[in-house]
A and B are shown apart, each in its own frame.
Chain A
Amino acid sequence: MAIACASDGSADLAPASGQGAPRSVHEAPHAQPHEQMVTVYIMGQACQVPATATIMGGIEYAGHQIIRGAGCREGYCGACATIYRVANDYRVRTGLACTTLVEDGMTLTQIPSVPAGKALYSIADLKPDLSAIAQTYPVVFRCVGCNTCTRSCPQDIRVMDYVQAAKRGDIPAILDLSYYCVACGLCMLRCPAEITQPLVATLAKRLYGRYLSKKSPELGERIAAIEAGVFDEEYLGLMAMTPEALSQRYYAPADDDAED
Chain B
Amino acid sequence: MRISYFPGCTLKNHAVNFDDSTIAACTRLGLTVTELDRWNCCGTVHGLASDDLIHRMAPITNLIRAKEADADAFMTGCAMCYSTLKRANLHLRENPEALSVVNGFLSLEQTDYRGDLDVLHLLELLRDRIGFAQLAARVERPLSGLRVACYYGCLLVRPRAAAIDDSENPKVMEDLMAALGATPVAFPLKTECCGAYQVVADPGIIAERTRRIMGSAASHGADLVVMSCPLCAYNLDDRQADARRLDPDLAPLPVFYFTQLMALALGCGEDVLRLERHRTDPRATLTARGLL
Convert A164-194 into 0s and 1s, putting 1 for each residue whose CB lies closer than 8 angstroms to a CB of B: 1001111000000000000000000000100
Contacts of B39 in A (CB 8 A): 164
* B13-A144 in contact (CB<8A): no
Decide: A161 near B40, CB < 8 A? Known: A144-B54, A146-B54, A147-B57: yes
Judged by a CB distance under 8 angstroms, whether A73 is at the interface is: no
| A169 to chain B: closest residue by CB | B13
Distance in Å: Cβ of A4 to nearest Cβ of chain B? 35
Decide: A158 near B38, CB < 8 A? Known: A168-B9, A168-B13, A169-B13: yes
| A193 to chain B: closest residue by CB | B54
* B40-A145 in contact (CB<8A): yes
User: Which chain B residues numbered 7 to 48 have a C-beta less than 8 Å away from chain A?
Assistant: 9, 12-13, 38-41, 43
Distance in Å: Cβ of A96 to nearest Cβ of chain B? 19
Judged by a CB distance under 8 angstroms, whether A151 is at the interface is: yes
A-side interface size class = 10 to 19
Judged by a CB distance under 8 angstroms, whether A130 is at the interface is: yes
Q: How far is the CA of A40 from the CA of B38 in the complex (A)?
A: 38
With beta carbons under 8 angstroms apart, the residue of B9, B55, B109 that contacts A167 is: B9
| A131 to chain B: closest residue by CB | B13
Distance in Å: Cβ of A146 to nearest Cβ of chain B? 4
Judged by a CB distance under 8 angstroms, whether B105 is at the interface is: yes
Convert A117-131 into 0s and 1s, putting 1 for each residue whose CB lies closer than 8 angstroms to a CB of B: 000000000000010
Contacts of A168 in B (CB 8 A): 9, 12-13
Decide: A164 near B13, CB < 8 A? Known: A144-B57, A146-B57: no
* B57-A130 in contact (CB<8A): no
Judged by a CB distance under 8 angstroms, whether A83 is at the interface is: no
* A146-B9 in contact (CB<8A): no
What are 14 A-to-B residue pairs whose CB atoms are below 8 Å? A143-B58, A144-B55, A145-B41, A145-B62, A147-B109, A158-B38, A161-B38, A164-B40, A167-B9, A167-B41, A168-B9, A168-B12, A169-B12, A170-B12
Given contacts A145-B41, A145-B60, A169-B12, 6 further A-B contacts (CB under 8 A): A144-B54, A144-B57, A146-B57, A160-B40, A160-B61, A168-B9
| B interface, CB within 8 angstroms of A | 9, 12-13, 38-41, 43, 54-55, 57-62, 105-106, 108-109
